[in-house]
Amino acid sequence: MTDRPSDQDHGLPPYPPSASGAFYDAIAAEGRFALQRCADCAQFLYPAHDVCPSCLSTDLPLVDAPPQGQIASETTIRATTNPYFQDRLPIRIGLVILDCGPSMIAFLDDGAGMGDRIGVSFRPDTFGRAMAWAK
Ligand SMILES: [Zn+2]
């Protein structure tokens, strides 16, 4: 049983809050772009991890990260059954390969497309949830 109404009935964000998502929500509210970085091997991580996949360290502080990358692929979503996204259609998203290593799915600003060098940011949505954007 859940203590929140159905996503399908009320247009809420498609996922309930999570501990790792709270990292990015706070960063988005501050207007920063930060990722976890392993204190032992220096690898940047995204999404949030409990353990470094390279060296198994658990010392993974959140640090400002270089916000540049390249769009490796893109698509446009024109239909969805999720009320949260229905008011936002069409939605352009892409796979961004960050210069610092990780890849992420990001919303694409107008004019950003496959192959483009872009800057990425976390922006809060209307619920304060961090959304990755490429511009
Ligand atoms: Zn590591």
CA angle, 99 then 100 then 102, to 5°: 95
Distance 5 CA to ligand 1 centre (A): 39
Cis peptide before 13 (omega within 30 of 0): no
Give the environment of ion ligand 1: residues with CB less than 5 A: 38, 40-41, 52, 54-55, 57
Tokens linked to 97: 């390969």
Question: Rounded to an integer, what distance in angstroms lies between the CA atom of residue 95 and that of residue 104?
Answer: 6
Query: What fold, for 18-134?
Result: OB fold (Dihydrolipoamide Acetyltransferase, E2P) (2.40.50)
The position carrying tokens 């996503």 is: 7
Comparing 15-24, 106-115, 117-126, the range with the smallest average pLDDT is: 15-24
| Model confidence pLDDT, tens digit, residues 14-50 | 667 777 788 899 999 999 999 999 999 999 999 999 9
The position carrying tokens 């999570």 is: 18
CA angle, 129 then 127 then 101, to 5°: 15
pLDDT at 119 > cutoff 60: yes
Distance 27 CA to ligand 1 centre (A): 22
Domain ranges of the chain: 18-134
Distance 101 CA to ligand 1 centre (A): 13
